[in-house]
């Protein structure tokens, strides 16, 4: 992210361009692009942490194993706290989401890397997956009772159809805000870092750079630290919202 030598020529949004890895033709759905690469790396990192790191199953864990156990315990507790005991059945799915998003976010912080979660296309698929799972689960568990979520029985009869439409729309707001938030946060942070980075080499061009360059470098450092926080919090928020939606599907009393 903070490549300085490039001068003002680079555009802060260029880092988000999807490029094919081999050759440069049009991008089709099967084209192997930098997105594919970095998602594969996220999966690889997950495997390294959870499978290779924890494979020794020592009672006194190694460093990697304690990180794996910590992550496991953290999400496990979150699922249990939010959805209750019966939500634990869906823990593998939620944990997969968490660890994938976490690694995708943090891999995106490496210089010159690509942040897959800054693309709505990626986060929307994740959020759509959650939305479909939760909706299907709600219907499978409760049948038509699940529609009670939209039928506010405490309201007067005349208002209920209108309220039903409103509830329906707010139900669809969830996957949208779910995905926009993750992508928006990741994209905004990375773009801001790039903008500051663009100001860093001013010292090579004019006298005012004496002032601008140190400021922008400090800003990059600060922003980067903030991004580290954001990476974790956004993965956390995505996961906890998944838990909340899951709880709604399991207990649609509303």
Three-state DSSP state, 23: coil
Do residues 131 and 139 make contact, with C-beta atoms less than 8 angstroms apart? no
Comparing CB distances to another protein, the nearer of 35 and 79 is 79
Least CB distance from residue 241 to another protein, whole Å? 9
Three-state DSSP state, 33: strand
Q: Does 177 bind another protein (CB under 8 A)?
A: yes
Figure out which of the listed residues 21, 162, 204, 208 binds another protein, where binding follows CB under 8 A. 162
Q: Does 251 bind another protein (CB under 8 A)?
A: no
- Site for another protein, residues 41 to 60, rule: CB under 8 A: 54, 57-59
Q: Does 151 bind another protein (CB under 8 A)?
A: no
Comparing CB distances to another protein, the nearer of 41 and 120 is 120
Least CB distance from residue 229 to another protein, whole Å? 6
DSSP annotation string for 43-110? HHHHHIIIIITTTT--SS--HHHHHHHHHHHHHHHHHHHHH-GGGGGGHHHHHHHHHHHHHHHHHTTS
DSSP annotation string for 113-157? ---GGGSHHHHHHHHHHHHHHHHHHHHHHHGGGGGGGT--TTS-G
Residues in contact with another protein, shown as a per-residue x/- string from 102 to 141 under the rule CB under 8 A = ----------------------------------------
Q: What is the dihedral of CA 174, 226, 202, 1, to 10 degrees?
A: -70
Do residues 132 and 148 make contact, with C-beta atoms less than 8 angstroms apart? no
Least CB distance from residue 189 to another protein, whole Å? 12
Residues in contact with another protein, shown as a per-residue x/- string from 195 to 234 under the rule CB under 8 A = ----------------------------------x---x-
Do residues 202 and 208 make contact, with C-beta atoms less than 8 angstroms apart? yes
Q: What does the binding site for another protein look like in residue numbers (CB under 8 A)?
A: 54, 57-59, 69, 72-73, 76-77, 162, 165-170, 172-174, 176-177, 180-181, 184-185, 229, 233, 237, 244
């Amino acid at each position: 992210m903070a490549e300085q030598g490039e001068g003002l020529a680079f555009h802060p949004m260029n880092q988000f361009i999807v490029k094919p890895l081999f050759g440069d033709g049009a991008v089709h759905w099967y084209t192997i692009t930098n997105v594919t690469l970095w998602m594969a790396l996220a999966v690889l990192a997950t495997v390294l942490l959870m499978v290779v790191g924890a494979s020794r199953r020592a009672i006194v864990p190694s460093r990697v194993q304690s990180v794996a156990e910590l992550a496991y315990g953290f999400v496990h507790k979150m699922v249990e706290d939010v959805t209750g005991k019966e939500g634990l059945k869906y823990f593998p799915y939620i944990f997969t989401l968490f660890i994938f998003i976490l690694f995708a976010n943090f891999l995106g912080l490496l210089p010159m890397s690509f942040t897959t979660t800054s693309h709505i296309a990626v986060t929307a698929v994740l959020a759509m997956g959650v939305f479909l799972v939760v909706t299907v689960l709600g219907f499978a568990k409760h049948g038509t009772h699940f529609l009670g979520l939209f039928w506010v029985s405490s309201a007067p009869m005349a208002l209920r159809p209108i309220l039903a439409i409103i509830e329906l729309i707010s139900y669809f707001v969830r996957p949208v805000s779910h995905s926009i938030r993750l992508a928006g946060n990741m994209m905004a942070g990375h773009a801001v870092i790039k903008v500051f980075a663009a100001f860093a080499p001013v010292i090579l061009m004019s006298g005012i750079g004496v002032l601008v360059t140190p400021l922008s470098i400090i800003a990059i450092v600060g922003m980067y630290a903030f991004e580290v926080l954001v990476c974790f919090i956004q993965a956390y928020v995505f996961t906890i919202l998944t838990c909340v939606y899951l709880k709604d599907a399991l207990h649609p009393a509303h």
